[in-house]
Amino acid sequence: MQFLDEDIYEAVKNYIPKVSEYVNSHGGGLELLGVKDGVVYIKLTGACGGCSMSLMTTKMVVEKKLRELIHPELVVKNVDGTPENEMPDDAYIGKEEKSDEASSKESGGILKGIKKIVGL
């Protein structure tokens, strides 16, 4: 694929509401986590998060629809805690997500410092 990860991320981000209609109808949700080398990393949440059919939902619903809307070679992986579906540390995660992640890490560091001072 000849697209930048950033471009794929933005395209997927724009189509998430349309793609997640099926997932939402089953009591689940769909979260875009990042993109690396044309692979889109998502997380199924709610009822779909721990469902035994999550692989089928990822491939036959989410990936199929994103391939129709964006590019026929797009690959989608559900980050489900298994080693083969981990998102790489250097995946593109979007500008606003990066700042949220940085502030979360920062506040976690502050909290650790406070706990250390207080003796927790």
Report how far apart, in Å, the C-alpha atoms of 67 and of each of 35, 50, 62, 99, 117 are: 14, 24, 9, 29, 52
- 32 within 8 A of 78, measured Cβ to Cβ: no
Across 1-16, average pLDDT = 92
Task: Report helix, strand or coil for 37.
Answer: coil
CATH code of 5-93, in short, is 3.30.300.130
Length of the chain: 120
pTM, rounded to two decimals = 0.78
Query: How much is the pLDDT for 2?
Result: 82
pLDDT tens, 33-70? Answer: 999 999 999 999 999 988 899 999 999 999 999 999 99
Average pLDDT over residues 7-17: 96
Is 90 exceeded by the pLDDT of residue 14? yes
